[in-house]
Amino acid sequence: MSKTTMRLVYVATPYAGLRGVSELNRPFLAKRIARDTCKRVREAGYMPISPILAFSEIFDEQKDREQVLEAGLELLSHCSYAYFYDLHPDSHLSEGMKKEREYARELGITELDLDGGFGF
């Protein structure tokens, strides 16, 4: 019996770059975007992994911002693909997503384009 493996997809979504959201609501909105985006990546036949979902309960986003970014970049380095959720208007303002995209390109990680009819 042959088993097909699903390659990991790093799912980059905005967190600190979310504008017009209170500090209290930011974690909830960021997790919702990450969760829904991971579901979309999974439905496309890939195995998603999100640093927001992986690390949100481990690090304090305000105090540990640099550590969170480093942990995300380490996670990214183990993925075969990266998906950058650009449909949210604040995605383009996210410094973290910019760093993730630059690092993915530096590593030669393939960027997936799955944007087709879902957004917030």
What's the pLDDT tens digit per position in 54-88?
998 888 777 788 898 999 999 999 999 999 998 88
Q: Which residues contact 100 (CB under 8 A, 6 or more apart)?
A: 10, 12, 72, 73, 76, 82, 84
- pLDDT value for 72: 93
Report the alpha-carbon distance of residue 41 to residue 45 in Å, rounded: 7
| Percentage, residues of the chain above pLDDT 90 | 55
6-27 burial by CB neighbour count: b if 16+ within 10 A, else e? eebbbbbbbbbbbeeeeeeebb
**pLDDT (tens digit, 9 = 90+) per residue, 96-108?**
899 999 999 999 9
The model carries a pTM of: 0.86
Locus of tokens 């604040």: 90
Tokens standing for 86? Answer: 């650009």
Residue 57's pLDDT is what?
Answer: 81
Q: What is the pLDDT of residue 84?
A: 94
